[in-house]
Amino acid sequence: MTILIDLNLSSHWLAALDAKGIEAYHWSEMGRLSASDTEVVCKAAESGWLVMTKDFDFGHLLASPKGGRPSVLLLRALNTSPEALGPTLFAALKSFQQELLEGALVTIQDHLDVRVLPYRSE
């Protein structure tokens, strides 16, 4: 499992993820600083990576008819540092590994919320 960290999150996540044996890249290492959300999603999808972000637009991109990949870890908290959300994030990665491999939106805040992708309207 490899994670692509969006620009809106600190690159300090790289060391925290590496300490847990999780391969990760920060978007600042991968592409243009002015890249659109779509560009970030496409890079992650092409590479088979997860996206970690605090940008709510990613959920909308995945809800589109062509959505469902890549999986997204959405951090929804005032403090999105590894120190504050690391334990919850690592628990989510362990608990929802299969869903993340198949396509899911995992929201990480005071509690976890998982939605399997693509979204289905019923």
Domain annotation covers residue 119: yes
Domain annotation covers residue 57: yes
Look at strands 112-116 and 104-108 and give their pairing.
antiparallel
How would you write the chain as a 3-class SS string? Answer: CEEEECCCCCCHHHHHHHHCCCEEEEHHHHCCCCCCHHHHHHHHHHHCCEEEECCCHHHHHHCCCCCCCCCEEEECCCCCCHHHHHHHHHHHHHHCHHHHHHCEEEEECCCEEEEECCCCCC
Domain annotation covers residue 14: no
Domain annotation covers residue 7: no
Q: Write out pLDDT tens, residues 13-34.
A: 999 999 999 999 999 998 788 8
Could you tell me the residue range of the domain that residue 36 belongs to?
Answer: 20-76+93-122
Residue with tokens 């659109």: 36
Domain annotation covers residue 82: no
The whole-number pLDDT of residue 37 equals 82
Domain annotation covers residue 6: no
What's the domain count of the chain? 1
Does residue 107 surpass a pLDDT of 80?
yes
Q: Write out pLDDT tens, residues 36-62.
A: 888 888 898 899 999 999 987 665 566
Domain annotation covers residue 9: no
